[in-house]
Amino acid sequence: METFISDISQKTFPLAERVSGQSIRKSMLLLIQSKFPEFTLTSSIALSELNQFRQEYISGYLVNESGKLTELETTVVKLLTENQTISDKMDEEQEVRTFGQRMADKLAAFGGSWGFIIFFLSFITVWIIINVEFLLSKAFDPYPFILLNLILSCIAALQAPVIMMSQNRQEEKDRIRAKKDYMINLKSELEIRMLHEKMDHLIIHQQQRLLEIQQIQIDMMQEIMQRVNGTK
């Protein structure tokens, strides 16, 4: 296997990973030269080393945009460096709820359903009928149903904080989901930037190979013409 020596680390890499300084974008080239002034257009660097400079350039870009890397942006750059996907990490995370949180979710789900409305309307209707029609003078809660009003007030007072607890948890889940969506979008944007860099490198490298092939073909044509002219 053919190899070459990187002008950055002086290490040996496969020739397929060789990137010439001429095929590197000017912004990336300036970043490399800021740390390795001896690196020129004729120098060579390994693709893995160039990716490290690209990630450093991306971090610098984010710092210039926002002034400081946030925890989310740092995590995205780290995952990008380790070549990990955020969606897989999201699937591995499991929500842990306490007993009180589970009860609050169930009560809020039941309190906001048609089942609760039908049940409570039936309860109120039965309560009124019993106290008005059947018990008459012996009613335990005669009109205007003060005990029923007290029960309704207590249920409303308890139901409101339970629903608020569930809504707060839902808002927290929405914030976490929004952060994850932001991380995925940011990582996609950075990967697209790196993909453009790689495509530019491949195009320039391919053009160089085509020029070499054309030069070889021209040399062959010249040799053939010389032989033809020599036989005349």
User: For position 214, what pLDDT does the model report?
Assistant: 73
Confidence of residue 62 (pLDDT cuts 50, 70, 90): low
* DSSP secondary structure code for residue 132 in this structure: I
How crowded is residue 36: how many other Cβ atoms within 10 Å of its Cβ? 15
Beta strands 18-20 and 12-14, pairing class: unpaired
Mean pLDDT of 65-77: 62
Q: Has residue 144 been placed in a domain?
A: yes
Q: Identify whether the C-beta of residue 42 lies closer than 8 Å to the C-beta of residue 174.
A: no
Residue 116 domain boundaries:
99-181
User: For position 23, what pLDDT does the model report?
Assistant: 76
Model pLDDT for residues 96-110, shown as the tens digit of each residue: 677 777 787 888 888
**Full-prediction pTM beyond 0.85?**
no
Q: Identify whether the C-beta of residue 21 lies closer than 8 Å to the C-beta of residue 44.
A: yes
Rounded distance between C-alpha atoms, residue 220 and residue 231, angstroms: 17
Q: Identify whether the C-beta of residue 54 lies closer than 8 Å to the C-beta of residue 64.
A: no
Q: Has residue 120 been placed in a domain?
A: yes
Q: Identify whether the C-beta of residue 15 lies closer than 8 Å to the C-beta of residue 2.
A: yes
Mean pLDDT of 31-60: 80
Mean pLDDT of 113-124: 88
How crowded is residue 182: how many other Cβ atoms within 10 Å of its Cβ? 14
Q: Has residue 3 been placed in a domain?
A: no
Mean pLDDT of 17-44: 82
**The total number of structural domains that make up the chain:** 1
Q: Has residue 232 been placed in a domain?
A: no
**pLDDT for 182 beyond 80:** no
135 vs 107, more confident: 107
Q: Has residue 169 been placed in a domain?
A: yes
**If 0-12 CB within 10 Å is exposed, 13-18 middle and 19+ buried, where does residue 216 land?**
exposed
Q: Is 20 helix (H, G, I), strand (E, B) or coil?
A: strand
Q: Has residue 61 been placed in a domain?
A: no
Mean pLDDT of 56-75: 64
